[in-house]
Structure 1
Amino acid sequence: MTQEPQATGFSVKPVLTGEKTVLRPFTGADADTMAEIIDDPEVRRFTGDSPSDLTLESLRAWYGSRSAQPDRLDLAVTDRATGELLGEVVLHEWSPAHRSCTFRTLVGPAGRGRGIGTEAVRLIVGHGFERLGLHRVALDLFSHNHRARHVYEKVGFVEEGVVRQSVLRDGQWHDETLMSVLAPEWAEHRGRPNGDTTPSRAR
């Protein structure tokens, strides 16, 4: 059962613990590692162009201020066993009136192919529905980003449509796919629409 959105919005920054990953609030000290992750070729390929003024100083200011934002939730994806920072998950563009927000994520090389990204998505999206009372969580991705699409479908996101040739990168046009998951759907499958029984419940 979902609940009404908290009056404080997204201002409370939780720690969400799964079997493989811990999602925790960011600090400015995370900027160095996040700079390396953002500069990874696969991240750059699928997340769009980085701002030209992106510097380590600006990243420190950005990640150091995430815990002060009342209208979005940025959490660091870390390896539960080692504490290593692997990426980020974000709920943003929050609409209190419509109980909706947008989701995005990026995971660096050290976190791929281990089920950590899937668990991280389940944890934060589940938090959005089960703790923040959201009704809809939406995202968009490049249509050729098959790895991300597999993860999103695995946790219950459904394709809504395709925005054709919306992005020009390196001389080529790329489509974007729009996806979402709704509270009634999440209440039914809890991020496991295909019956995956792998535990990742937040504790």
Structure 2
Amino acid sequence: MIDLSALREKPTLTGERVRLVPLSEEHVDDFYASAQDDEIRRLTGTHRRIGYDEAAEWCAGRSEAPDRLDLAITAHPEARYVGELALMEVDPDNETAAYRISLSAIEFTGQGLGREATRLLLEYAFDRVRLHRVWLEVYAFNMRAIAVYRSCGFAVEGRLRDALLWEGRRHDALIMGVLENDFRKTAGL
């Protein structure tokens, strides 16, 4: 049985190079700037640009969400905002949840920060929330993200054909999932 109180706690998770902290009002400026970045929008398939007030409302409301976990990714030691992630769409009956991550700028890719953040969140999801499975969607053109997910134990489970229409081109989305045992094997736990 999963522990839903672990979603309400809004923990701080610390790794070697990243720290995951509850997404809050202090992250509004960085969160908003990230949401305006064209490449980030393409990688996440986000067509609509959000306004500053909407970003502020979103960040302020994350601590009140009892059924999901939204965390800002900050880099050590300067605590610089590098993105955000979420554990959401929790299904207690099936012990599953969806996962999403977005690094705030291309300058942060390729440094292992997303991999470390993903592993920290998965460890919390399996150990503290006690989930059995975590799944995500990723666009098939995002090879870097797919490689990171695979390194964390995710496997491709399906394909949504032509799921994204971006600048006149259609792209498939891959459904990837990781089971607790698969994560533990890849993480050496």
- Structure 1 length as normaliser, TM-score? 0.87
Query: Pick from 60, 63, 74: which aligns with 1:64?
Result: 60
1:90-137 Cα deviation digits (max 9, x unpaired):
100111111100000000224222111110000001110011100110
Between the aligned partners of 2:114 and 2:161, the Cα distance in structure 1 is 27
Stretches of structure 2 that go unaligned for 5 or more consecutive residues are none
Query: Pick from 14, 38, 43: which aligns with 1:41?
Result: 38
Aligned: 1:31 with 2:31: no
Structure 2 residue matching 1:106: 3-state secondary structure: strand
Structure 2 residue aligned with 1:55: 51
Structure 2 residue matching 1:22: 3-state secondary structure: strand
RMSD: 1.6
Structure 1 residue aligned with 2:95: 99
Between the aligned partners of 1:9 and 1:70, the Cα distance in structure 2 is 9
- Which structure's relative contact order is higher, taking Cα pairs within 8 Å and 6+ residues apart? 1
Stretches of structure 1 that go unaligned for 5 or more consecutive residues are 193-200
Q: Aligned pairs, how many?
A: 188
Structure 2 residue aligned with 1:179: 176
Query: Pick from 114, 126, 129: which aligns with 2:123?
Result: 126
CA pair 167-7 structure 1, distance change in 2 beyond 3 A: closer
Identity of aligned residues (%): 34
1:62-105 Cα deviation digits (max 9, x unpaired):
10110111100000000121111110011001111111000000
Amino acid at match of 2:63: S
Larger displacement relative to structure 2 (117-126 or 36-45)? 36-45
In proportion to residue count, which structure has more helix?
2
Which ranges of 4 or more aligned residues in structure 1 deviate by more than 3 Å? none
Answer yes or no: is the 8 Å Cα contact 1:140–1:177 preserved in 2: yes
Aligned: 1:168 with 2:165: yes
Q: CA deviation at 1:9?
A: 5.1
- Structure 2 length as normaliser, TM-score? 0.94
